Structures are given as C-alpha cells and as structure tokens.
Structure 1
C-alpha cells in the first residue's frame, strides 16, 4: 500500500468515527430533551422513560432536529405547559453540548 492509500483509509476511519459520535450525541440529546419535557409534564418512572424513548424515535422520521422540537413543543402545549419554542430550541442546543461532552469523557 502507498502512503496515499494509508492516509485515505485513515480519513475514512476518522469520518466514520465522527459520524458515529455525532449519531450517539444526537440520540443522547433527544433522550435528554425527552426527559426534560416529560418531567415538565409531570411524568415519572416508566412513563417518563417511555416518553424519552418516543422523543428519540421522533428524530428517525426525518433528518434534523425539527421533528423532535415539533413533538416536544406539541406535547408540552397539549399538556397546558407554558413553553416557548425558543426555550425548547435553547434546550436542544444546550443538551447537545452536554451530550457531546459526556461522550468525550466516556472515551
């Protein structure tokens, strides 16, 4: 193998690692936003865990965070919990940063 081939394989491996890391961080973020919203709705125990899992699944419908934001905002509104879209979006950003940091610390 040439040095070019070695470097190419190295870049591919790094790209795959980065993609896997980001996938895990987003899934963790979604769980965290689900737990946050579920607690605001008064859920606990299995109901809270099931809601967090439902939020994680909501992200699989389409790429991006809009499905998660729409679900959480809709559920909070339906539960008569006063919340602004900006608050949910801020939590999404905050929880993504926390999820990335936690994953880095686990490695």
Structure 2
C-alpha cells in the first residue's frame, strides 16, 4: 500500500465519521430524553425511546417537543413547553460532549 492509498483511506474514514456524527448526537440526545421522561412518568425507557424516535423522524425537533408536551401534560406542570425545550437543549449539549469524547478516544 502506498502512502497515497493510506491518505485516501484516512480521508475516507474521516468523512464517514463526520457524516455519522450528527446522527449519533441526535440518537444520544433522544436516549437521554427518553430516560428523563420515563423516570418522570414511571414508564419503560425503551418504549419512550421508540416514541421519541418516531416523533423525531416524522417531524424533527418540533415533533419531539409536541410528543413530550403531550406525555407530560398529565403531570399538570406549568410552562411545560419551556421546560422541555430547556431539557432538549441540555441533552443535546451533553450528547455533543459524549459523542465528541468518544470520537477523540
């Protein structure tokens, strides 16, 4: 293998990692959100995760927000939308740190 082949393969690996990163961050965020909502509602994490993933694929962040807003309505909390947005932002930031940390190892 020549040095050019090695460079090409390294560039391909880097491209794949860069392409996968947004998906991995979003998946990690969704898992954190599922854990949070499952704990609040006393539900199964896996089922909550399935629901969040479905909402995310169907309508993106707005779909996730509406799904969680609907789920948390039974708690009777005030300002649920802002609570969920804040939690989504925090989970996203934590997911970025987690994924960045795993890529750099």
Q: TM-score, normalised by structure 1?
A: 0.73
Contact 1:25 1:96 in 2 (8 A): yes
Residue number among 46, 51, 56 corresponding to 1:54 in the alignment? 51
Aligned to 1:86: 82
Identify unmatched segments of 5+ residues in structure 2. 1-6
Contact 1:29 1:99 in 2 (8 A): yes
From the two aligned structures, give the one with the greater helix fraction: 2
CA deviation after TM superposition for structure 1 residue 54, in Å? 1.6
Shift of 1:100: 1.0
The size of the alignment, in residue pairs, is 96
Ranges in structure 1 where 5+ consecutive residues have no aligned partner: 1-5
1:21-60 pair list within 5 angstroms: 21-43=21-43, 47-60=44-57
- Distance in 2 between the 1:91 and 1:81 partners? 17
Report the aligned-residue RMSD: 2.4
Deviation at 1:48, TM superposition (A): 2.3
Q: How does 1:71-82 map to 2 (within 5 A)?
A: 71-77=67-73, 79-82=74-77
Answer whether contact 1:26 1:99 (CA < 8 A) is retained.
yes
